[in-house]
Amino acid sequence: MPSSKMPPSIVRYKNPIIVLALLTVGILCAGRSDAASNQPPDGIRFDGLVSESELQNMTGQPLAIKLRSGRFIVKVTVDELQFDRKQNGLKFLKYLSETGRTSTVKVSDLYAFWVKNQRYQLRYFPPTQQLFVINAAAADATAESRLAAEGNTIRESLDDKEQVEATTEHRQFLEEAANKLKDVASFRIEETESTLIFTDYPPAATTGLRRFVDTMNEQLNHLFGIPMGDSVWRGKAILAVFSSPALFGQFEERVMNNPNHGGRAGVRSGPKRFLQTAIAKKLDQNVARGLCWGYSLGFANRLHSTARGVPWINMGIANTIQFAIVPDQRRQKSQRADVIRQIKNAGSLLGLLDATKLEQERWPLSGQLVNFLVTSDSIAFSQLFRDVKLGVPLEEALEQNFGASKAELADRFGRSLGVAGVQP
């Protein structure tokens, strides 16, 4: 749920749909916006696809732009939408400043734009490398209808003021926790760009931890195309790290009113706050790997909607982020070898794509499959995740983002590992 961070004179919007940008390819063929430039191939449908007349009516209208860097461009007007006629996709957005100066934004730099008070996003179709303009309000309405059928909804964004208020609320919660535990240990609160850390470790011991949580958050933002400085969390994430099981137990019993914790640290991801707890006798790579799993799963849960998403995708994201943040070639090679052996013996993905629950034995398979998709096309993977979180059936999301059925995906993935004829 990226923070909206609205530009001046633009109304607050709902739905943190990630706006994905196509890296510039080919040669620009300047032209005007027209119907042919915003029509997907036959059989492909996108929520909120903008019509020819809506594109034409943008010229000369007030414009605000948000770049992937997080920067806003405001108090300008639309000059022209330039499409690459060969690829039939949007390439550049030209605008006029108040002084009449013309400037151009590449779609690779673009996150979202507003014409008057209407937000627009870009939809990338990887099989043909086309980029389509989407009316966000119309797309939201369609997604809300799908989600409502399952009892879910799109997550609302918080503006800057609301984010500050939520972080203050979380800090007060932690200050109260420290006070309740002052007779057993001295707890501190450390605030990073992304996270509030609650711990009994001394400041000198947590320097690496502070860098680690922000790097992890940045890596997840990058994976999903979220602009720098935006946050999916309500306020900031909370990470509570205890140097002993006894201190963790005191926190659970006195602060969380949970006497039946069983000594198990983990994640609480509710509508008000994300809280991850960890017991660490020393802050090493093993602790970092465990934090990656919980943090990544919480991040994925917060994105786009209240829907749980697809289990193998969620677990695969956690596995992928783990190796991105805490590289371990030996573990990675071992995991890959185990997965190859697993699918060779079964001749299939063991029903992974349709699984509603995953036992731990299938987590490595999930990780290898997600890594394959991200490596194939990271933008397409981000859209695939967004689609399923917004209620699009997995089969349809695969077709729209990778041009593959479940059977074709299984075969492609198997061949990438040197195993032919793998079935779902």
Q: Band of the pLDDT at 12, cuts 50, 70, 90?
A: very low
- Residue 21, pLDDT > 70, answer no
Average pLDDT of span 44-56: 87
What's the rounded Cα separation, in Å, for the pair 402 and 250?
A: 49
The yes-or-no verdict on residue 310 having pLDDT over 90 is yes
Residue 3 has pLDDT above 50, yes or no: no
What lies within 8 Å, CB to CB, of 304 at 6+ separation is 1, 15, 16, 17, 18, 154, 155, 386, 389, 390
Strand locations in 116-194, DSSP E?
A: 118-125, 130-135, 188-191
The token pair at 36 is: 């042919």
Q: Is the pLDDT at 210 greater than 70, yes or no? A: yes
Cα distances from 409 to residues 120, 291, 309, in angstroms, run: 31, 30, 18
pLDDT of 229 strictly over 90 = no
pTM: 0.86
Q: How high is the pLDDT of residue 125?
A: 85
Q: Is residue 24 very low, low, confident or very high in pLDDT (cuts 50, 70, 90)?
A: very low
The mean per-residue pLDDT over the stretch 396-421 comes to 95
Question: Is residue 26 scored above 50 in pLDDT?
Answer: no
With 0-12 / 13-18 / 19 or more C-beta atoms within 10 angstroms meaning exposed / middle / buried, residue 420 is exposed
Nearest CA-CA partner of 105 in 118, 122, 91: 91
Q: What pLDDT shows up at residue 7?
A: 55
Confidence of residue 30 (pLDDT cuts 50, 70, 90): very low
- Pick the closest to residue 126 from 320, 403, 411 (CA basis): 403
Render pLDDT for 238-263 as a digit per residue (tens, 0 to 9): 999 999 999 999 999 999 999 999 99
Does 348 score more than 60 pLDDT? Answer: yes
pLDDT-above-90 percentage for the chain: 72
Give all strands (DSSP E) within 243-340, no chain letters.
267-269, 274-279
> In the predicted model, what is the mean pLDDT of residues 328-338?
93
To the nearest whole number, what is the mean pLDDT of the chain? 88
pLDDT at 11 over 70: no
Q: Residue 23: is its pLDDT beyond 90?
A: no
Do 37 and 43 touch, CB atoms closer than 8 A? Answer: no
Q: What is the pLDDT of residue 34?
A: 40
pLDDT digits (tens, 9 = 90+) for 391-401: 999 999 999 89
- Give the mean model confidence (pLDDT) for residues 205-217: 93
83-87, 223-227, 350-354: segment of lowest average pLDDT: 83-87
Predicted confidence at residue 87, as pLDDT, reads 54
253-292 pLDDT tens trace = 999 999 999 999 999 988 899 999 999 999 998 899 999 9
Is 20's pLDDT higher than 60? no
- The reported pLDDT for the residue numbered 31 is 39
